[in-house]
């Protein structure tokens, strides 16, 4: 991976939406790739971590709810959940009323993995921000609000 900083001046993209979209897409994907590399368990896939993160943020889910949330098929989610269960990151809890229904939730170990991964990712960004000027940090703070707006549409 080339970590060289490209210091060439960026073209004025304010009127060229196609070029602006391309620049934003490439920068976003490159940063996302770098952030995904900051994880507590190197062997865990992005999809597996996404399930742990969803359970952390949104609480326990059924298999179908998790599949819908992650936009995968139920059999695919079942394989992911089985791997996470084998590793001790999640548990399946039978419903007391309907024994066919199972709720999936994080174990304490799974929560520890999520917390450590988030800590590592935040530290990566904090270190990067520390190398920037106050003006650049301010620009990124404003850009984060705009990027969330775009992501939420």
* Residues in CB range of 83: below 8 A, 6 or more apart: 48
Sign of CA dihedral 136, 138, 140, 142: negative
C-alpha 128: how far from its chain's center? 18
pLDDT (tens digit, 9 = 90+) per residue, 73-100? Answer: 999 999 999 999 999 999 999 988 888 8
Q: What is the value of pTM for the model shown?
A: 0.80
pLDDT for the residue 20: 84
Pair of tokens at residue 18:
């196609």
**CB distance 67 to 76 below 8 Å:** yes
Task: Please give the span between the terminal C-alpha atoms of the chain, in angstroms, as a whole number.
Answer: 32
Residue 124's φ and ψ, nearest 5 degrees, are -60, -45
pLDDT (tens digit, 9 = 90+) per residue, 52-67? Answer: 999 999 999 999 999 9
Mean pLDDT by 10 residues, the chain (153 residues): 52 72 92 94 94 96 95 96 97 88 96 97 97 96 94 90
pLDDT for the residue 19: 85
pLDDT for the residue 10: 60
Length reported for the chain: 153
Cα distances (angstroms) measured from residue 120 to each of 31, 39, 72, 123, 126: 14, 7, 27, 5, 10
């Amino acid at each position: 991976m080339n970590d060289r900083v490209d210091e060439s001046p960026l073209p004025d993209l304010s009127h060229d939406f196609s070029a602006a979209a391309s620049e934003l897409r490439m920068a976003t994907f490159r940063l996302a790739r770098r952030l995904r590399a900051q994880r507590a368990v190197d062997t865990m896939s992005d999809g597996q971590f996404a399930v742990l993160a969803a359970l952390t943020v949104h609480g326990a889910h059924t298999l179908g709810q998790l599949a819908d949330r992650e936009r995968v098929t139920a059999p695919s989610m079942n394989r992911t959940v089985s791997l996470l269960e084998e590793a001790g990151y999640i548990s399946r809890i039978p419903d007391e009323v309907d024994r066919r229904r199972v709720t999936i939730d994080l174990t304490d170990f799974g929560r520890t993995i999520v917390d450590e991964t988030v800590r590592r990712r935040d530290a990566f960004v904090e270190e990067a921000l520390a190398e920037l000027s106050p003006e650049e940090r301010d620009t990124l703070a404003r850009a984060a609000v705009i990027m969330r707006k775009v992501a939420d549409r």
